[in-house]
Amino acid sequence: MAKKKITRTRKKGISELEKVINGPAQSNDPNYRVYRWDQSLREALKERREELGITQQKLIRDSVAQFLPSLVQQLAELGICVEDRATVGPSRVPLGEATLKALRLASNWTDLPQTLLLQAVLRLATRGNGQEQKRQTKKK
């Protein structure tokens, strides 16, 4: 049986996301997940939750509803997206030690996978917006 081709455009993906977020609230028990967050985020969440007098689940739900659609849109503008899942496949690329080290450091700092960071950088570098990157020359 042939695989079904899945195609998603940025606009359609955002509208689907907003439908899920703005859909009817579900009152069932929460699904628990474990995430590795630094202490400052945990403390900020606790302070904000106490300030608003709401549960952690409501704070997370409201934060996702308010910020996730625009965050996804901004990430797509940075090149962190895949428009057509059917075209995703492996690519063998040459990377120097300095490039690998830079990607590793950026990944450690952002907690995003190196492959995602590299993809975003390459999408930014290959944008067809008519603006060529100008080489900067050093004055001697």
Are 101 and 78 found together in one domain?
no
Q: Is residue 50 predicted with pLDDT exceeding 70? A: yes
Give CB contacts under 8 A, 24+ apart, made by 13-16: 13/72, 13/76, 13/81, 14/69, 14/72, 14/73
Top pLDDT among 84 and 42 is at 42
Are 23 and 63 found together in one domain?
yes
Q: Is residue 103 predicted with pLDDT exceeding 90? A: yes
Are 74 and 105 found together in one domain?
no
Are 70 and 39 found together in one domain?
yes
**pLDDT at residue 135, rounded to an integer:** 47
- State the average pLDDT for the chain: 81
Q: Is 104 domain-assigned?
A: yes
25 pLDDT band, cuts 50/70/90, is low
Q: Is 25 domain-assigned?
A: yes
Give residue 24's domain range: 9-84
Q: Is residue 9 predicted with pLDDT exceeding 60? A: no
Are 74 and 99 found together in one domain?
no
Top pLDDT among 59 and 2 is at 59
**Domains held by the chain: number:** 2
Q: In angstroms, rounded to a whole number, what is the distance separating the alpha carbons of residues 121 and 126? A: 9
6 pLDDT band, cuts 50/70/90, is very low
Are 13 and 39 found together in one domain?
yes
Q: Is 73 domain-assigned?
A: yes
Residues 59-68 have a mean pLDDT of 92
